[in-house]
Structure 1
Amino acid sequence: MAITVNIGEAKTRLSELIARVEAGEEVVIARGNAPVARLTALEDDKRRRAQQAIARIRALRDSGDIKPVTVEEILAWRHEGHKY
């Protein structure tokens, strides 16, 4: 749930608004009646991006487009490009 506050109120209540954001709420800051900024928790954004990345990796894994790698292939790659 998002709450909307004007800029002056946001200046006065910044600590309280940040505490609400940390608790999971979203705060929209408005100039007059027009929204100009949004406060959201950074960890939520990081977590959401990580979950999206994991979902894409799982979808790719399950798509069958990637063939399994054998231990022998991994061992062969270990020295690939080395000059003895």
Structure 2
Amino acid sequence: MSRAELTASQCTSYIKRKKQIWEALHPDEIRVAQAAPVEIGYGKPPVGPAGFAAATAASTGQSKATTNRAIARADALGDDALAKLNAPER
């Protein structure tokens, strides 16, 4: 059995919903991430608490950047536009 891949707007909607659920389940990690400074040095990746993008990257195999772009798209489009994009065709 085969299935169609998700559209970009469907992926964006699902990532946004996943972030809402993750934030509800991890309120302490959000507070720590907002309060902790990110340490950046020459040749070093940023060091700070792992957040939603890191957790999603680990579970999906996508990069943190891909997750962050999907979240940025969802925020820019808004719920109404995403709902219209994901509505079934007539």
Do both share a fold (TM > 0.5)? no
Say which structure, 1 or 2, has more relative contact order (CA 8 Å, 6+ apart): 2
TM-score, normalized by length of structure 2? 0.30
More strand by share: 1
TM-score, normalized by length of structure 1? 0.32
